[in-house]
Structure 1
Amino acid sequence: MGRWQDMTQEELEKQYAPSRWSHRMDKEAVIEAHVREVTEAFPLVLYIHGGYWQFLSKEVSGFIAPPLVTQGIAVAAVGYDVAPKGKGFQKWDQHLLSLALWPLSLCALCLGHMDVMVAQVRRSVAFIVQQYSKTSGVYLCGHSAGAHLAAMVLSTDWEEYGVTPDIKGAFLVSGVYDLEPITHTSVNNLLHVSQSDCSAVTLSLPREVARRNSPVLCMTAATPARKACEVLIAVAQHDSPEFHRQSQEYFQALRSAGWSVSLLDIADTDHFDVIEKLSQGGYILTQVILNMISRA
């Protein structure tokens, strides 16, 4: 081929018109097909991690992505400030630790951090749907504490956030839907604080905070839009009887409120591998998620 300076105007136009060179279809059709392909809406799964509101992170949540992404589903992990960071403090004040009444001050700092976590997750959902308007629907997936937070998302008054997310489904796995029993366990007690390590600080969740952040107690009646959202409540066969009870009661509460909801007891799993196995394409819960999304 000669230099471009030696080409006629017609030849130059042809050389710089990529659509003329497609082997698959004519020049008009290939452009239309390309626009359709790159702008086509896609389903989006938002994964909310567990860890009893105290550990794990979005950075370790990518394990669920491979079997979903291979089916054309986008996956995003949602983070939140686990306790005790939820109230905005990341390092303990040395002066505070020296005070005789420091436990009272710490309790004051801890009050409401569950509210913060819930608000953070709600804001994340609002932000994502504003940034990615081309989704064909949003699906929530949460495990344990993450299932609790996903359930709280379902009860959100979205007018406060200026958006109406098209949440078409929620997969709530081995969740806690009534927080009050947690307030009577060691999960909630302030066990240990040191100047060098605050990782053992637990929830310090007051009863009133627990109640207003319990999905089973802040049930929202199913509007027409919410009726279009399918909710799957899954529980591991070897979860404790309390986890089974809570899953059953939240299932009944949603159904009574008019939601489209189902309950799945997953055989031969415990509280941990029930979610770990989502990395496997052939796992029953993976298949249930894929089937629900494909029906939408």
Structure 2
Amino acid sequence: MDLEKEYSPSQCSHRAIDNNPADLIESFVKIHIEETERVKKVYKSRLDVSYGDTKMQSMDIYFKDKESDTPIFVYIHGGYWIELTKAESGICVAPLVERGYRVVVMDYDQCPNVTLEEIVQQTKKFLKFLLKYATDTNAESISFCGHSAGSYLIAMLFQQDCLDLPNANLIKDIFLISGIYDLREMRQTNAANPNNVLSLDEESAKRLSPALLEFSKSAVNIKIHVIFGEHDSEVFKKQSTEFFKQLEKQNLALEYSEVMDHDHFTIIEELRNSESSIMNFILKKLGLK
């Protein structure tokens, strides 16, 4: 198996037969930018709300009529912890805001400015801030959705120190889309970790792999949806499948779904469309359809 190719989603897409991999990425980013700019004009928002000590440790909050007294849906973008920002990640805002949710799009510092381990700590800091914000604004529930590297960051929140935080019981559903959960193989590829930009060694790759960790018993109250696309690469499918099997051993509330006709990019691009298979799936699980 060519791991450099397998960890390069743009090279594994079924569309790559007719499209240059660089064109797929360019189209993906263009769709995200256009949709994010559109929802900023259509809906109310509070942008660049700080949860940490740096500019990137911030979040954008989108809502329709009122920010408080509404459930929260958090989206964390991918990009191998080195690319993309919340400024082009408002892809799921419209379908959820139209149905009474507020959407929080989280950002974080990127490698090599920080290590991956520091990003994990920033995500934990974000969770602590979010739980207080949710309580202060009377949110009835919190759901999380992550893509690729974003799914990884969410999975790293299943630890005792996170789920024992005050009001962590507000967390109801977690959607992990085309994620990475075991870093040991990935860290050795140039596709995902050029020049060790993530600052990983053998020991830290194990310690920071959610697939190798025991999760907090509090996680049993959270419904976890492990999702990937039919046309994701074989290694991304394997990451999701093996992570799901590991979660099964821990008696967590789980669902495992392969979304047909989608690759690593379209599965997220279509979050903007409430009638798409992926967003329709999410809306049903949230009880909105």
Residues 1:139 and 2:132 aligned together = no
Residues 1:233 and 2:261 aligned together = no
Matched residue count: 221
Distance 1:221 1:252 in 2: 17
Distance 1:71 1:260 in 2: 25
Q: Which has the larger radius of gyration?
A: 1
Distance 1:245 1:39 in 2: 39
Query: In the alignment, which of 66, 70, 89 is matched to residue 61 of structure 1?
Result: 89
Query: In the alignment, which of 147, 159, 167 is matched to residue 171 of structure 2?
Result: 167
Contact in 2 for aligned 1:221/1:257 (Cα 8 Å): no
Q: Tell me, which stretches of 5 or more residues in structure 2 are unaligned?
A: 1-64
1:239 deviates by: 0.9
Question: What aligned pairs does 1:234-249 form with structure 2 within 5 A after superposition?
Answer: 234-249=227-242
Residues 1:182 and 2:210 aligned together = no
Q: Tell me, which stretches of 5 or more residues in structure 1 are unaligned?
A: 1-36, 87-112, 191-200
Question: What aligned pairs does 1:255-266 form with structure 2 within 5 A after superposition?
Answer: 255-266=248-259
Secondary structure in 2 aligned to 1:115?
helix
Secondary structure in 2 aligned to 1:249?
helix
Residues 1:222 and 2:250 aligned together = no
User: How does the TM-score come out when normalised to structure 2?
Assistant: 0.71
The residue that corresponds to 1:123 in the other structure is: 125
The residue that corresponds to 1:8 in the other structure is: none
Distance 1:68 1:159 in 2: 25
Residues 1:272 and 2:265 aligned together = yes
Distance 1:257 1:175 in 2: 19
Residues 1:154 and 2:149 aligned together = no
Contact in 1 for aligned 2:96/2:103 (Cα 8 Å): yes
1:159 deviates by: 7.3
Distance 1:176 1:42 in 2: 31
Greater relative contact order structure (CA < 8 Å, 6+ sep): 2
Percent of aligned pairs with the same amino acid: 32
1:183 deviates by: 1.6
2:125 aligned partner, one-letter code: R
User: How does the TM-score come out when normalised to structure 1?
Assistant: 0.70
1:132 deviates by: 2.4
The residue that corresponds to 1:208 in the other structure is: 203
Distance 2:78 2:102 in 1: 20
1:142 aligned partner, one-letter code: G
2:90 aligned partner, one-letter code: G
2:275 aligned partner, one-letter code: G
Moved more, 38-47 or 75-84: 38-47
